[in-house]
Amino acid sequence: MSLNVPFAEWLPDQPALNNPGITRAQNVIPGSGPFYKPFPSATQYAPTCLPSRPYAAISLRDNLGNAHVYTATQRKLFTQDPGTSNWTDIGRAAGYTTADIEGWRFTEAYGLVIGTNYSDSPQFIDTTKGTKFGDLTTLVKARYITTLRDFVLVGNTFDAFDGAVPYRVRWSAIGNPADWNFSATTQADFQDILGGGPVQAVVGGEEGTVLLKTQIVKMIYVGSPAIFEFKCIYQNKGCAIPQSVIAADGKIFFYGEDGFYMLQDDRLNAIGKGKVDQWFKANANQAGFDRMTVSIDPLNKLVVWMYASVDSYDLKPDQVLVFNYDTGAWSTATTKPTFLFNTLSLPTTLAALDKYGSLNDVPASLDSPVWSGGRAFLAGMDEAGVIYSFSGANMPATIETGEYPTGQMLAQIMQNVKGDRALVRAASPKVHGSGDVSVQVSGKVTPQQNTNYGAASPINVNGWCPLRSDARYHRYRITLSGNWTQAMGVEIDAVPTGSR
């Protein structure tokens, strides 16, 4: 008798017994339905080099339509040279003094890239004709920055008059990111937001969103004299990890004190509740949260967080958590880079591909967006600043199902079945593509027993993996490699045995 076990959502926070989803989804991507796709390996895109690990990166088009990529280390600012693909130092001559616990943040406004690290004055460069970063203003320093309508907005500030004011947001003159003198005429001003702790992130757009430690506030432009209306939309809810915040498609994603959230149209959705929140708390190294990065995979509608796991003794990010914001499904992965960012590809000529030696060594297919200038894609860097694209061969993947009372499941579809045990004889993975697939089974008599999988069984010519496990409860581990494309579930061949 056949039983179908679909690959539903990955739900590690749910008990393995009768889990409505799956219990492991390693090196896979949640698809647009109840299936998974392979997570591609990271392939070297540019053999660049930085003097120390990257802290932040931004990519954009200038006023002439040319793509640029900028990155920051602790002491320097760089741009990627489109001719050589190398990082070129374009920071100020004196360098920077970014504190170990701080980071860099970037925004784009009026053809400028503006960066802030709290330790130094905000920096800017004209993306069309600028050759070096310079001081945007000396009136304010800030941890966080964004572009809000016609203003540059900063949060969690420091200035010579009031010192550190972690609950303050401050904005530039309208239409002039370089003017920070308070003025009713230019509308440059500030606002202290009380009762929510420090500002953890500022998100721009037509309206602003300020994420504090225990509060979420909207900023709505109303013009002079108030300039902005501040509206608290959530009290006792906020952002716990500033590095977890990212916006995409009108949604804001972040990690709060009790898990992952998505904010859309002023409505807060606990996207990790009952799914991955407890798993993340148990598997993430809190001491490494300042090294977390988050990016968007625009092609697959994914939010991708990279963080240090409890196994990372040196706090280098070594794990990836993936969220499909169309379906609400999650998965995990491991990869070589330790830093994620969204980038635009710089134009590459066929002659420039000669550095790879042969077409067989080119790290992505010739129709990949990484070769045509200005195409957005998810990228990564390692500790040395080498850039990677996620366009290589499929990573070896593992999917594990929940634990099911096989005998009881058979009794529901068969007559005269009185036992609660079953003999699993084979499994048939429902996988598209030409990959290599094998299945292991774990059998238990009681839920309290340890989960021990048997030997891996590959698919035979008839599409089945021969197995043998006589028990009350069964779960399955499916291992995938090679050129598979979609994994939908597994069909089980089992017969009832034993009696109550």
Handedness of CA 432, 437, 443, 448 (dihedral sign): negative
Q: Report the SS3 class of residue 408.
A: helix
Q: Express each pLDDT in 251-271 by its tens digit.
A: 999 999 999 999 999 999 999
* 36 pLDDT higher than 90: yes
Mean per-residue pLDDT, 302-317: 96
Sequence-ordered alpha helix ranges (H) in 259-384: 277-283
Confidence of residue 351 (pLDDT cuts 50, 70, 90): very low
Rounded Cα gap, residues 311 and 12, in angstroms? 18
* 343 pLDDT higher than 90: no
Rounded Cα gap, residues 210 and 216, in angstroms? 6
Whether omega before 47 lies within 30 degrees of 0, making that bond cis, reads no
For residue 209, which amino acid is it? T
Name the strand (E) or helix (H) holding 70: strand 67-72
Rounded Cα gap, residues 171 and 169, in angstroms? 7
Which string of DSSP letters, residue by residue, matches 305-322?
A: EEE-BTT-TT----EEEE
Q: Express each pLDDT in 182-218 by its tens digit.
A: 999 999 999 999 999 999 999 999 999 999 999 999 9
Q: What phi and psi values does residue 474 have, to the nearest 5 degrees?
A: -135, 145
Sheet (strand 77-80) strand order: 56-61, 67-72, 77-80, 87-89
Q: Helix-strand-coil percent breakdown of the chain, rounded to 5?
A: 5, 50, 45
Mean per-residue pLDDT, 280-292: 96
Instruction: Give 41's DSSP letter.
Output: P
* 40 pLDDT higher than 80: yes
Q: Hey, which bits of 292-396 come out as E strands?
A: 293-297, 302-307, 319-324, 329-333, 339-344, 376-381, 387-389
Cross-strand bridge partners of residue 333? 320
Q: Do the beta carbons of residue 464 and residue 457 sit within 8 Å?
A: no
> Would you state the pLDDT for residue 377?
86
Mean per-residue pLDDT, 373-380: 80
Cross-strand bridge partners of residue 295? 304
> Would you state the pLDDT for residue 137?
98
Confidence of residue 233 (pLDDT cuts 50, 70, 90): very high
Mean per-residue pLDDT, 140-160: 98
Q: Do the beta carbons of residue 338 and residue 316 sit within 8 Å?
A: yes
Instruction: Name the pTM for this structure.
Output: 0.92
Cα 136 to Cα 123, 180, 202, 360: the distances in Å are 5, 9, 19, 46
Instruction: Give 395's DSSP letter.
Output: P
Q: Do the beta carbons of residue 137 and residue 178 sit within 8 Å?
A: yes
Of residues 370 and 390, the one with the higher pLDDT is: 390
Q: Express each pLDDT in 152-170 by its tens digit.
A: 999 999 999 999 999 999 9
Closest CA to 138 of 126, 122, 152: 122
* 358 pLDDT higher than 60: no
Of residues 352 and 361, the one with the higher pLDDT is: 361
> Would you state the pLDDT for residue 52?
95
Task: Spell out the domains of the chain, with CATH numbers in brackets.
Answer: 2-39+396-497 (2.60.120), 43-389 (2.130.10.10)
Q: What is the rounded end-to-end Cα distance, in angstroms, of the chain?
A: 20
* 366 pLDDT higher than 90: no
Rounded Cα gap, residues 151 and 172, in angstroms? 6
Which string of DSSP letters, residue by residue, matches 168-207?
A: EEEE-BTTBTT--S--TTT--EEEE--SS-SEEEEE-BSS
> Would you state the pLDDT for residue 344?
82
Confidence of residue 415 (pLDDT cuts 50, 70, 90): confident
For residue 48, which amino acid is it? T
Whether omega before 447 lies within 30 degrees of 0, making that bond cis, reads no
What average pLDDT does the chain have? Answer: 93
